[in-house]
């Protein structure tokens, strides 16, 4: 079943309704930037009392730390040291304190595997739904996405409309670009393409398969030259983690953005007045422009946003940094 969500509230309501109709109380989630954008975790918890569990290790670390926002779209817990995670796991799991990343990963693995097999409702991001072949594609390294789509009874995929691509050949091209640009891998360890619910006589797969396509302002941006390139591209969010891009994690945490996302051009989503520091937080070294596999002229876009700030005198005013 394909659902079209005009805005964030509608997307959340759709997922909550699907969950409620099926008596779901717990949800296993694969990492999803769109679900961050629409505030799905809060909606599930507050509106419906449904408990979401993040199954990506980085997202899980943040979730059990009182739902801390992610600092990086690929490595959400990048700002945490192994010592931080050791303290957190010790406090939240009640297990002996350990600092070795392998041992910490093992501990989380046991908990998350048990969580997914108990969950009745899996939900995750789709990277590149293919239009012609009517399917969805997703990428993970940990295999948590495969867990979420193979074991639970229901599967809800949520993604932005800009990620719909025409053919499987386009999927292959983007799969070459995406992991190379994000983590330096030629392919992620797991790539799954899903076309529907469990078929007759299959032993695994969900009984229901829902796709929620989220507009949330994207269609409107299509008409805006300055915003279009950056906003409506499947790889848009991958600008930030490119190897050549300066480390942006601390600036973004300081800026306290509502969206844990992208470079300054994301101001087109939240409105310049809500992100006055954003277009000014880049060094404009154009490293991102040089290495961009899909040729998004990010520094040009940022420059245009800065120009826009002048006449309406929306100038940066960074509040004092919170103590770390």
Q: Which of 45, 161, 168, 232 binds other proteins (CB under 8 A)?
A: 168
Nearer to other proteins, 9 or 222 (CB): 222
132 touching other proteins, by CB under 8 A: yes
Residues touching other proteins: how many (CB under 8 A)? 67
What tokens were used for 24?
């779901």
Q: Which of 4, 91, 97, 131 binds other proteins (CB under 8 A)?
A: 131
Query: At its nearest, how many Å lie between other proteins and the CB of residue 293?
Result: 10
- Candidate ranges 44-52, 131-139, 267-275, 315-323; the one touching other proteins (CB under 8 A): 131-139
Q: How many angstroms separate the Cα of 183 from the Cα of each of 101, 191, 205, 247?
A: 18, 15, 29, 14
245 touching other proteins, by CB under 8 A: no
Query: At its nearest, how many Å lie between other proteins and the CB of residue 57?
Result: 4
- Pairwise CA distance, residues 280 & 305, whole Å: 9
Binding pattern for the stretch 15-44 against other proteins, x by CB under 8 A and - elsewhere:
------------------------------
Nearer to other proteins, 127 or 280 (CB): 127
163 touching other proteins, by CB under 8 A: no
Q: Which of 149, 181, 280, 309 binds other proteins (CB under 8 A)?
A: 149
CB contact at 8 A, 166 and 117? no
Query: At its nearest, how many Å lie between other proteins and the CB of residue 314?
Result: 36
Q: Say how many CA atoms lie within 13 Å of 201 toward its Cβ.
A: 0
Q: Which of 3, 29, 80, 163 binds other proteins (CB under 8 A)?
A: 80
Q: Which of 61, 158, 238, 278 binds other proteins (CB under 8 A)?
A: 61
Long-range contacts of 262-266 (CB under 8 A, 24+ apart): 262/73, 262/230, 262/236, 262/237, 263/239, 263/288, 263/298, 263/302, 264/301, 264/302, 264/305, 265/227, 265/230, 265/231, 265/298, 265/301, 265/302, 265/305, 266/230
Q: First and final CA of the chain: distance in angstroms? A: 45
87 touching other proteins, by CB under 8 A: no
Read off φ and ψ for residue 6, nearest 5 degrees: -65, -40
161 touching other proteins, by CB under 8 A: no
**Which residues are CB-neighbours of 54 under 8 A, at least 6 positions away?**
29, 31, 60, 62, 63
- Pairwise CA distance, residues 275 & 269, whole Å: 9
Residues that bind other proteins (CB under 8 A): 55-58, 61, 75-78, 80-82, 85, 101-102, 104-106, 108-109, 112-113, 116-117, 131-133, 135, 141-144, 146-147, 149-151, 166-170, 172-173, 175-176, 183, 186-205
């Amino acid at each position: 079943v394909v659902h079209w969500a005009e805005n964030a509230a509608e997307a959340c309501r759709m997922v909550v309704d699907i969950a409620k109709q099926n008596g779901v109380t717990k949800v296993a989630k694969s990492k999803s930037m769109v679900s961050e954008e629409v505030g799905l975790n809060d909606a599930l918890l507050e509106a419906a009392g449904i408990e979401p569990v993040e199954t990506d290790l980085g997202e899980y670390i943040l979730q059990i730390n009182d739902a801390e926002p992610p600092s990086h779209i690929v490595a959400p817990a990048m700002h945490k040291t192994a010592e931080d995670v050791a303290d957190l796991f010790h406090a939240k799991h009640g297990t002996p304190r350990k600092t070795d990343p392998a041992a910490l990963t093992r501990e989380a693995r046991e908990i998350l595997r048990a969580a997914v097999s108990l969950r009745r409702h899996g939900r995750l991001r789709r990277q590149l739904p293919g239009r012609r072949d009517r399917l969805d594609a997703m990428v993970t390294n940990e295999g948590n996405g495969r867990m979420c789509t193979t074991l639970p009874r229901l599967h809800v995929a949520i993604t932005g409309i800009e990620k719909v691509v025409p053919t499987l050949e386009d999927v292959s091209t983007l799969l070459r670009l995406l992991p190379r640009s994000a983590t330096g891998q030629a392919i992620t360890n797991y790539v799954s393409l899903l076309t529907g619910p469990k078929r007759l006589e299959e032993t695994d797969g969900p009984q229901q398969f829902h796709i929620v396509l989220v507009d949330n302002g994207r269609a409107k941006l299509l008409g805006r030259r300055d915003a279009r390139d950056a906003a409506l591209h499947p790889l848009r969010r991958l600008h930030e983690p490119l190897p050549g891009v300066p480390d942006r994690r601390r600036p973004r945490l300081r800026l306290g953005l509502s969206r844990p996302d992208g470079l300054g051009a994301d101001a087109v989503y939240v409105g310049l007045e809500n992100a006055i520091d954003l277009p000014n937080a880049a060094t404009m070294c154009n490293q991102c422009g040089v290495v961009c596999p899909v040729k998004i002229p990010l520094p040009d876009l940022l420059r245009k946003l800065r120009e826009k700030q002048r006449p309406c005198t929306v100038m940066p005013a960074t509040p004092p940094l919170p103590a770390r």
